Amino acid sequence: MTNDEACKAVIGAVQAGYRLFDTAHGYENEAGVGQGIRSCGVPREELFVTSKLLGAWHGYTAAQSAYQASLHRMGLEYLDLYLIHWPLPSQDRYVDAWRGLSRLLEDGRVRAIGTSNFKPAHLQRLIAETGVAPDVNQIELNPYLHRRETRAHGERLGVATQAWAPIGQGGALLHDASVTATAANHNKSAAQIILRWHLQHGVVPIPKSSDRRRIRENIDIFDFELTSEEVARLAELDRGEQAAVDSDTTGC
């Protein structure tokens, strides 16, 4: 989204009941998200705002400076969650970046810190070398990509899992026969079925929409429940960990 679109989407989403907002330095819309947060009429402390560190800023001091720059662009005094966007193992600097984020947390400048696109091996290394576990790991996750191993590993460490591409980026998943049949059972849309699936798996989905109607639709998922048979049918859609974006070789 552009800054303008992001600002409008945040305001519409707050009115629809959303309280968590996710942006990143790399999306070039932190300013719009921040403007929406500041002008939406709900007190800042009732909102949960996340941004992410770009790879060029992996480093102890660099990460702290990048956080300050994000706050400046957003016009906010603090973030609720700051994530390392990608591990970028080829740079081999994510542990230094993590030390920088840990320092922000220690100093009370951010409320929680985490990672994004980290595989179990990346998380293990962070914890072994710094003793600090992430609060959150945000990964690509939806009924085509259950990420069982990564989720189970996170659970053992007490790391909450957030899902990006939660509805499969608006693609084929929304037209999958198992999803549309389940949607018909409940008189709900395919997107609502998928978002409900996330909740019933203890995952935090962060769907993106710039459309008022779809923004409202995506939060209207608290008045029904998927049956165990439906959950089992959706489990068959999993394409395995290897089908997700490979964060050993991809990222920014």
Ligand X SMILES: NC(=O)c1ccc[n+]([C@@H]2O[C@H](COP(=O)([O-])OP(=O)(O)OC[C@H]3O[C@@H](n4cnc5c(N)ncnc54)[C@H](OP(=O)(O)O)[C@@H]3O)[C@@H](O)[C@H]2O)c1
Nearer to ligand X, 110 or 179 (CB): 179
Say whether residue 218 binds ligand X (CB under 6 A): yes
Question: CB-based contacts of 119: which residues, under 8 Å, 6+ apart?
Answer: 87, 150, 247, 248
Say whether residue 170 binds ligand X (CB under 6 A): yes
Residue 140 near residue 245, CB atoms below 8 Å = yes
Beta carbons within 10 angstroms of residue 86's beta carbon: 24
Looking at 18, 27, 82, 94, which residue is catalytic? 27
Residue 97 near residue 53, CB atoms below 8 Å = yes
Say whether residue 70 binds ligand X (CB under 6 A): no
Nearer to ligand X, 110 or 128 (CB): 110
Q: Which residue is nearest to ligand X (CB)?
A: 170
Nearer to ligand X, 128 or 193 (CB): 193
* Stretch of 62-70, 105-113, 206-214, 229-237 lying at the interface with ligand X (CB under 6 A): 206-214
Say whether residue 137 binds ligand X (CB under 6 A): no
Say whether residue 20 binds ligand X (CB under 6 A): no
Q: In the chain, how long is the greatest CA-to-CA distance?
A: 53
SS3 171: coil
Say whether residue 165 binds ligand X (CB under 6 A): yes
Query: Is 27 an active-site residue?
Result: yes
SS3 41: coil
Task: Provide the residue type at 104 as one letter.
Answer: L
Say whether residue 8 binds ligand X (CB under 6 A): no
